[in-house]
A = this chain, B = another copy of it.
Amino acid sequence: MARIVQPIEIICIGNEILIGKILNTNAQWLAKRITALGLTVRRITTVGDDIDEISNSLREAIQRNPVFIITTGGLGPTFDDKTLEGVAKALQRQLVVHGQALKMLEEKYRRFVEEGRIERLELTPHRVKMAVLPEGAKPLFNPVGTAPGVIMKHDDMTIIALPGVPSEMKAILEDSVVPLLKQVAGDVTFFEISIDATQIMESDLAPLIDRVMHDNPYVYIKSHPKFEERLPHIELHFSTTAEDSSTAKNRVSKALIQISEMIQAKGGKIKSSKPSIKTS
């Protein structure tokens, strides 16, 4: 039975990504984690630290009606941390100091005083800023850093704002967001495996992939030409999402055997396999 696709969009916010200063490892980590839970990332958008860019990209994502929109970056204390201003603008909500968020921050800075990192507990405007949330939003506890994550509902969608610092982003996702994602995903398994084919060109593999995907409608096969060695080879990546692990494996195995035989019949060779199972 075909599963209902539960699409998710990721919006990454930060000029440092747009100038190529950093690799967007947050997007890959989130995409991998969400996929492993049996959900589908439909789009990843990166915009700069600009209220209109953030607001427009969020509005556009809302129009595509995903179940979740997850943003990363722009929650800190500096002038260019503009995510929540952009979110408030997109949703036409006021920005208000959130009592519970302010308490979370106070607790953090109290600890910094105890650790001797700051002299006295003082909630400066730049610190209070991290507790200013769009009306109706709730803070998500940040076990690693200072700025809380933020969650809010909009129509049937859930919008979640996470910090850009990877360790904070991952911790809040695991603690507060994964349980919600699991509820939506239900009980499913994502399974993937790769094999390398040599002595066959991608253009000759193409019709074989067409045939095998036609015969195995739940298995997705993608070819990636590689040049790591003297002779080029092609990585074939198989993936599927199924109700349980054995169904997923059986589906992929069937497709893998079929294409391996076809490749060998054409004089090609299969080099290796690297299985990987992920269960939500």
Contact = CB atoms under 8 A, between A and B. Distances in A.
Given A146-B203, A203-B127, A222-B80, A31 B41 contact: no
Interface stretch (A71-79, A170-178, A256-264): A71-79
Contact of A77 (B31, B130, B202): B202
A32 interface: yes
Interface stretch (A13-21, A151-159, A247-255): A13-21
A189 to B, nearest CB: 14
Interface residues on A, range: 35 or more
Contacts of A83: none
Interface string A46-85: 1111000100010010000000000000001111100000
A167 interface: yes
Contact of A19 (B19, B35, B48, B49): B35
Nearest to A30: B20
B45 A43 contact: yes
Contacts of A41: 18-20
Nearest to A118: B201
A70 B149 CA distance: 33
Contacts of A29: 20
Contact of A16 (B15, B204, B210, B224): B224
Contact of A44 (B46, B213, B224, B237): B46
Contacts of A224: 16
Given A43-B53, A78-B209, A15 B222 contact: yes
Interface string A124-161: 11110010000000000000011000000000000000
Interface string A1-36: 000000000000001111111111101111111110
B16 A237 contact: yes
A263 to B, nearest CB: 14
Given A24-B28, A43-B57, A146-B203, A19 B239 contact: yes
A248 to B, nearest CB: 14
A210 to B, nearest CB: 5
A20 B28 contact: yes
Interface of A: 15-25, 27-35, 40-49, 53, 57, 60, 76-80, 112, 117-118, 124-127, 130, 145-146, 165, 167, 192, 201-207, 209-210, 213, 220, 222-225, 227, 237, 239
23 contacts: A17-B28, A17-B31, A18-B31, A18-B41, A19-B32, A20-B28, A20-B32, A22-B28, A24-B27, A42-B53, A45-B46, A60-B60, A76-B223, A78-B210, A78-B223, A79-B206, A80-B222, A112-B201, A117-B201, A124-B203, A130-B203, A146-B203, A165-B227
